[in-house]
Amino acid sequence: MTMNGLFRGLGVAGLMAGVVACQGLGDEATSARDAQQVAAPGVEAMKNLVVVSLDASHVPTFVKGDFGRIAASKELRAGKTEQVALRPVLAALEPLFHASPEELVFQQAVTDNIGDRHYVYAQHKHGLEVVGGGLVLHSRNEAVYAVHGSARADLDAPRIPGLGVTEAVALARKDTSLVGPLDTGARPQLAYWKTGDALSLVYRVNVTGVREDGAPVDEEVVVDAMHGGIVARASNLQTLKNREVHDLNHGQVLPGPTARVEGGPAVADAVVNTNYNLLGLTYDCYKNLFNRDSYDNAGAKIVSSVHYGTNYANAGWSSTAQQMLYGDGDGVTWGNFANALDVTAHELTHAVINATSNLHYYAEPGALNESMADSMGAVCEWYRDGQVVSANTWKAGEEIWTPGVAGDALRYMSDPKKDGRSFEYYDMTYDTFVEVHLGSGIPNLAFYLLAQGGQHPRGRSYTQVTGIGIAKAAQVFYRAITVNLLGNRLAGFAEAKVATEQAAAQLGYSAAEIASVTAAWNAVGVGANAIDHSEFFVRQTYQDVLARAADASGLAYYLNILGSCNGDATCLANYRALIAQGMLESPENRQQDPDLNPASPNYKAAFITHCYTNFLRRQPSASEHSWWLDVLNRTDYRQVVNGFITSPEYRQRFGRQ
């Protein structure tokens, strides 16, 4: 069960003991091993540790504190001696993160726009990259103040694939539907794919070509190397939208003849000139707001191709070709994509993400990727408009979507559901693998609420958010993506919430502003202790505990209680636990088990058993039952219930990871 609240503010010994206690849910061997690690050399030197987030096995994934100093030198800043200088810090972190220094391969040192230095490590196991594994050390004035990552060295990792390269390529090609001739390019690479507490051996197959309608294909297909099947597929062509339109019959070779270069005069083609100007505006936006010099922060040439194909209704950033491309649209549903600033900023932001956190372009990481692109599109429009917010600031693609219809847009950040397709709330029915452009509505709305304030536009939550302004919101999300999600290609919404909260703190924002970051995520259903949508919770608790549908009067009664919290997370957590406890102890439920009467001498044992059978739909092991009984004796029933109904295992019952 997730017990984050038990660890906040503990010192090292308390932290490690707490982690060991939580891992006591049936794994005595692991607990004994970790108990020995408390005294590992170097750990005692860490001070003021605060665990910000844990994984499903209660291993820290983001920790703040005093981790020691890094010797300053020109060689270290050049990245030449970092292995020596940082190795003692990595060794001290091993028992905390269950990460082996021998598996950590230095990738890059990044200096951000406020002068902090970040050291990024990728995890390699048995010589293979672990996608989703890594560790990042954050430092200020040569002192390491935070560490995040998930480079777990204690996970089983199969070595010998059950599938050959030829079979993997055949599966990848077969799964790439509606395509013409394909090229699988370089030899597929074996890697490990991290999902929760598992490492899967996979092949990463690059598939390129052209679809039957002429649209370009450039995808990474991840194939299960043990049993076959597709683990994930991600496009290397990040686009503004996701539709297949019109038959393309020419203009598919990038980049094409040069039309205009930096400092050159205007040309006869108005689209070339407009695109040139918007690229400059986007560069200025990033430089002046974030002190970022092009997408790689090293002055890389920004390459763009316009008039892609015939009536091609899309724009995109190709991470393979390292450039943007723009279609002309059909003039009816779509105008020319090169004419919209938010489209250009959207595509360049994909390039920024590729150069930093490199979020995988599928499922929740892909939705975050898309959302950051939409958010920076809004920010750069605001920058262009004299830093004045308007209704159009929060519309995506409004300049080119149905050019004959005034006032509409492709997506609406302030009300994602307005387009009829996008998601707006992260409840337990949300499919984590939803298409990335539709899933982006959730973090898009969080960004809007953080900037502007207010409540969920369709009443999906009661949380009231106090806006901090678009300028500060932009800094928070920019830092989260370019700093706090470094090395975490598979980050989801929960990780983004932590990353933005920490970004606000690192930027020196006030406690009230940091609270606004948390509230913005809670308002869209992303919260550490929230069961999300109140009505869903009440209806599901009736089904779990009483095995029947909620009656109208009971539903109204409980919703009124939850509504009285006005979105306060602590109040909601308390009332949810009390509602669940009340149903467990109700006369209706006691008919199933008389020991659920608080007067029964077996009440506590029965209570724990029913928490497992009602909420997790399974019997507890002896060690699990004993552990939770000990927790119950030290705390109260409300906290125990809250541990179950906020646990990853409970959420996984509803398809939410």
Collect all residues with Cβ–Cβ distance below 8 Å to 84 and sequence separation of at least 6.
none
d(CA 240, CA 329): 13
d(CA 590, CA 545): 11
Residue 560 CB coordination number (10 Å): 9
- Return the HEC string of 188-241: CEEEEEEECCEEEEEEEEEEEEEECCCCEEEEEEEEECCCCCEEEEEECEEECC
Dihedral sign from CA coordinates of 565, 567, 569, 572: positive
Q: What tokens does 542 get?
A: 């009736």
Collect all residues with Cβ–Cβ distance below 8 Å to 524 and sequence separation of at least 6.
424, 425, 426, 442, 443, 445, 446, 449, 456, 460, 461
Tally the C-alpha atoms within 13 A of residue 57's C-alpha that lie toward its C-beta. Answer: 17
> Quick check: is 347 catalytic?
yes
d(CA 343, CA 339): 8
Q: What tokens does 639 get?
A: 């906290």
Dihedral sign from CA coordinates of 490, 493, 499, 500: positive
d(CA 545, CA 185): 54
- Find where tokens 């990595």 sit: 90
- Find where tokens 């019997």 sit: 619
**Exposed / middle / buried, residue 330 (Cβ in 10 Å: 0-12, 13-18, 19+):** middle
> Quick check: is 625 catalytic?
no
Q: Is 450 within 8 Å of 473 (Cβ atoms)? A: yes
d(CA 85, CA 181): 50
Q: How many residues does the chain have?
A: 657
d(CA 99, CA 347): 35
Collect all residues with Cβ–Cβ distance below 8 Å to 523 and sequence separation of at least 6.
445, 446, 449, 455, 456, 461, 463, 465, 567
Tally the C-alpha atoms within 13 A of residue 375's C-alpha that lie toward its C-beta. Answer: 33
Catalytic residue among 124, 437, 456, 533: 437
Catalytic residue among 103, 129, 219, 347: 347
d(CA 234, CA 360): 7
Beta strands 143-149; 104-111: pairing state: unpaired
Q: Residue 277, Cα to own-chain centre: how many angstroms?
A: 33
Nearest to 135 by CA among 177, 174, 86: 86
Calculate helix-pair angle for 603-611, 622-634, nearest 10 degrees. 120
d(CA 528, CA 647): 10
- Find where tokens 């707001």 sit: 289
d(CA 206, CA 497): 31
Write out the catalytic residue numbers. Answer: 347, 437
